[in-house]
Structure 1
Amino acid sequence: MARLSVLIADGNPVVRAGLAAILCTAEDLDVIAQAADGREALSLTRRYAPDVILLDVRMPGVDGISALPHLVQLAPVLMLTYSREAEIICEALSLGAGGYLVHGEFTTDDLLRAVRDAPLGRPHFTPTAASALLAELRASSHPQRGVAQSSERMHNSVVFGLSSREVEIMDLIASGMSNQRIAAACFISEKTVKNHINRIFAKLQSATRSEAIARWLGTARPGVTGHG
């Protein structure tokens, strides 16, 4: 049987040790690295090229959701977490996670099966994640709102002439992220974030963060002077 290498990314060292102990009971699985946050997970993934990544959502520094889009480009990612919020589950899956397991909802055999199936593209979900996915699928039968928001976002990027990176950063600004969090999410320095923001503000003809957000979200238009 071919052996699979696994990287565990979890902010809790006790959880990491417990998962490693479980995985090491399987003759076909090797835990080759452990990471305490998303940035370390990305660095170790590039160094060791694991077959599967087990990724927690909430971690100090760069969290799992922020690291996920970068990690899925390098290896299959299986979310393994206590986070059970439907929004987080759906976001993780939309960003490329190959399954979502909530602690307390799976057995050792379930975990081993999910890890073995991840490189084969076979997703596994515990009940909470499956329910969230089902609710999202049902909601997608009424897609008008989501389509309208996506269309408005694309329209704004063209109108204001923002690059794809600037669009990404503007979306993070609009979500309320600080420069520090944006830097962590995008794996760039705060100085680079500030440079991007200066260019974005110039293109949006905005002097403040709130004014830029208002124009980006469509509540103001170029040429309309904001106050405050």
Structure 2
Amino acid sequence: MRDERNPFGEVPPPDPVRVVVADDNPVVRAGLTALLSGREELEVVAEAADGKEAYEATLAHTPDVVLLDVRMPGVDGLTALPHLVPLTAVLMLTYSGESDIVHEALRRGANGYLVHGEFTSDELVTAVRDARRGRPHLTPTAAGRLLAQLRGEGDADSAFGGGARGSWPDAGPTSTKNLSQLQPDVAQSVSDKSAYGLSAREAEIMELIASGMSNQQIAATCFISEKTVKNHINRIFAKLHSTSRAEAAAKWRGEERSSAQGSGGGRW
């Protein structure tokens, strides 16, 4: 007798996208893990607090995608990136939106670059799924920074002329030596702001100020109160010798001109 069963009834579901989440902020890691684990066809197989742990987790769990922050203590994301891209797809997920860092991450083989606060949960899930397929994603800040840099350099061909995953640039020669022997390099050399003496949290908040976020948005993003945000901003202004958000942002970005006018002085 002919089998009358539905020919598609026995088709197994696709394998889940296996993800490693790498971020030094435990609250961010937990939030991302909860968000991704609650979606069909996604599975967080490990978390990591820096690039070294991300590399070791990738070797141990063979994920399809690594979500990688840029600024982390120990081995930072840009240092670890070229060691990860031969093993899996890497999607940058960070607060750092400076043009040089965006360009360097893509040059080193990242499949995409997402800046916190510029995507929805559904968009993040789509970006993770697409990363496994080699489809790149850029959030507006990353796309704008990259475009501005390419226009300024007039060198779009060289910027996109490599052979890494998808259509991103070549990550260059890589080595699988133990990352414990490496030291952070690019995140500091590309955007060295340590001279200001900001703490990791203050630097994170300063990045959000520079991106144009309000205190309320910063509080929601960092899971802290608006009063705590204001306290951080007071300390940031003191360390940057600034009296306004615009002036602080200009110094943080390394701009020579002061953009203090029109900022409302030191008002929050």
State the TM-score, normalizing by the size of structure 1. Answer: 0.63
Change (3 A) 1:142 1:47: closer
1:8 aligns with 2:7: no
1:27 aligns with 2:26: no
**Alpha-carbon deviation of 1:141?**
2.0
Change (3 A) 1:85 1:47: same
Q: Which has the higher helix share?
A: 1
| Unpaired runs of at least 5, structure 2 | 1-13, 159-172, 175-179, 186-268
1:141 aligns with 2:134: no
- The SS at the match of 1:33 is strand
**Alpha-carbon deviation of 1:25?**
1.5
Determine the structure 1 residue equivalent to 2:183: 184
Contact 2:75-2:182 at 8 Å conserved across structures: no
Question: CA offsets, 1:21-46, max 9 Å, x none?
Answer: 11011110000000000011111101
- CA–CA distance in structure 1, aligned partners of residues 182 and 45 of structure 2: 28
Aligned residues: 152
- Match among 33, 37, 57 for residue 70 of structure 2: 57
- Match among 30, 43, 66 for residue 17 of structure 1: 30
State the TM-score, normalizing by the size of structure 2. Answer: 0.54
- Match among 74, 78, 87 for residue 100 of structure 2: 87
Determine the structure 2 residue equivalent to 1:104: 117
- 1:37-52 aligned at under 5 Å gives the runs 37-52=50-65
Determine the structure 2 residue equivalent to 1:122: 135
Identity of aligned residues (%): 59
- The SS at the match of 2:24 is coil
Question: CA offsets, 1:158-207, max 9 Å, x none?
Answer: xxxxxx99xxxxxxxxxxxxxxx983259xxxxxxxxxxxxxxxxxxxxx
**Alpha-carbon deviation of 1:140?**
3.8
CA-based RMSD of the aligned residues comes to: 2.2
| Unpaired runs of at least 5, structure 1 | 147-163, 166-180, 187-228
- CA–CA distance in structure 2, aligned partners of residues 82 and 182 of structure 1: 26
